[in-house]
Amino acid sequence: MSTLQFHSQPQSRFESDIRFASSTSCSFRPRRNFTLPRRFRPRPLSLHSHSSTSLRPLPRAFSNDPAVTEKPSICTADELHYVPLPNSDWRLALWRYHPPPQAPPRNHPLLLLSGLGTNAIGYDLSPESSFARYMSGQGFDTWILEFRGAGLSVQASNLKELKQSADAVSEQIEAIAKSVANEVSPQKQPTDVSGYLSDSEFYFLREDSIGIGTAWDEAKLVAELTEIFMRLSERLSGFLSESQSRLISTKLLDQISKLLEDSQLSERFEEVRIKLTNVLEKQQNSVIASQIRDLSQRLVNIIEGGQRSVSPQFIDIQERLSSTIEDFQKQLDLIVKYDWDFDHYLEEDVPAAMEYIRAQTKPKDGKLLAIGHSMGGILLYAMLSRCGSEGREPRLKAVVTMASALDYRCSKPLKVLLPLADPAQALNVPAVPFGTLLAAAYPLASQPPYVLGWLNDLISAEDMMHPELLEKLVLNNFCTIPTKLIMQLTSAFGDKGLCDRSGKLSYRDHLNKSNVPVLAIAGDQDLICPPEAVEETAKLFPENLVTYKLFGEPHGPHYAHYDLVGGRLAMEQVYPCIVQFLSQYD
Q: What is the pLDDT of residues 297-343, one digit of tens each?
A: 656 666 555 555 544 444 455 566 666 666 666 666 666 778 899 99
pLDDT of residue 445: 67
Q: Is the pLDDT confidence value at 190 over 60?
A: no
Statement: residue 523 has pLDDT above 70:
yes
The answer, yes or no, to whether residue 34 has pLDDT greater than 80, is no
Is pLDDT larger for residue 41 or for residue 291?
A: 291
Band of residue 193 on the pLDDT scale cut at 50, 70, 90? very low
Mean of pLDDT values over 400-426: 73
Of the listed ranges 129-143, 152-166, 409-423, the least confidently predicted one is 409-423
Report the candidate in 206, 300, 541 with the shortest Cα–Cα distance to residue 398. Answer: 541
Question: Which pLDDT score, from 0 to 100, does residue 264 have?
Answer: 56
**Would you state the pLDDT for residue 41?**
34
pLDDT of residue 194: 39
pLDDT higher than threshold 60 for residue 62? no
State the pLDDT at residue 170. Answer: 85
pLDDT reported for residue 379: 98
Residue 175: the pLDDT is 77
Residue 519's pLDDT is: 98
Q: Is residue 40's pLDDT more than 90?
A: no
Question: pLDDT digits over 253-271, tens only?
Answer: 676 676 666 555 566 666 6
Higher pLDDT pick, 182 / 387: 387
Please report the pLDDT score of residue 216 as a whole number: 41
- Given a contact cutoff of 8 angstroms between Cβ atoms, the answer to whether 196 and 436 are in contact is yes
On the question of pLDDT at 59 being above 70, the answer is: no
> Which residues sit opposite 112 in a β-bridge?
144, 371
Query: Does pLDDT of 114 surpass 70?
Result: yes
Which parts of 178-321 are beta strand (E)?
none
The kind and range of the H/E element at 137 are helix 131-137
Q: Is 119 exposed, middle or buried (0-12, 13-18, 19+ CB in 10 A)?
A: buried
Q: Which of the residue ranges 11-15, 49-53, 544-548 has the most confident prediction, judged by mean pLDDT?
A: 544-548
pLDDT, greater one: 45 or 159: 159
% of the chain with per-residue pLDDT over 90: 40
Cis check: omega of the bond before 104, within 30 degrees of 0: no
Q: What percent of the chain has pLDDT over 70?
A: 56
Give the pLDDT of residue 88: 87
pTM, two decimals, is: 0.71
- Quote the CATH superfamily of domain 63-148+340-585: Alpha/Beta hydrolase fold, catalytic domain (3.40.50.1820)
The CA-based diameter of the chain, rounded to the nearest angstrom, is 86
Q: Which of 152-156, 255-259, 563-567 has the lowest mean pLDDT?
A: 255-259
Exposed/middle/buried for 183, CB within 10 Å: 0-12, 13-18, 19+? exposed
Strands 90-97 and 79-84: antiparallel
Residue 455, pLDDT > 80, answer no
Please give the average per-residue pLDDT across 453-471, as a whole number.
86
pLDDT at 90 over 90: yes
What's the pLDDT score for residue 398? 98
* 228-238: pLDDT as tens digits: 655 555 544 45
pLDDT, residue 434, reads 76
Question: In which band, very low, low, confident or very high, does the pLDDT at 482 lie, cut at 50, 70 and 90?
Answer: confident
**Predicted pLDDT at 437:** 75
- Whether 296 shows a pLDDT value over 80: the answer reads no
Q: Give the start-to-end residue ranges of the domains of the chain.
A: 63-148+340-585, 242-338
pLDDT at residue 463 above 80?
yes
> What's the pLDDT band for 418 if we cut at 50, 70, 90?
low
**Spatial contact of 221 and 322, defined as CB atoms under 8 Å apart:** yes
Mean pLDDT of all residues in 451-456: 68
Write the CA distances from 570 to 127, 215, 302, 334, 340, integer angstroms: 13, 61, 67, 39, 33
Question: What is residue 442's predicted lDDT score, i.e. its pLDDT?
Answer: 72
Mean pLDDT, range 167-176, rounded to an integer = 81
**pLDDT, the chain, mean:** 74
Name the pLDDT band for 179 (thresholds 50, 70, 90): low
What is the arithmetic mean of pLDDT over 80-84? 93
pLDDT at 389: 93
SS3 string, 299-368, reads HHHHHHHHHCCCCHHHCCHHHHHHHHHHHHHHHHHHHHHCCCCHHHHHHHHHHHHHHHHHHHHCCCCCCE
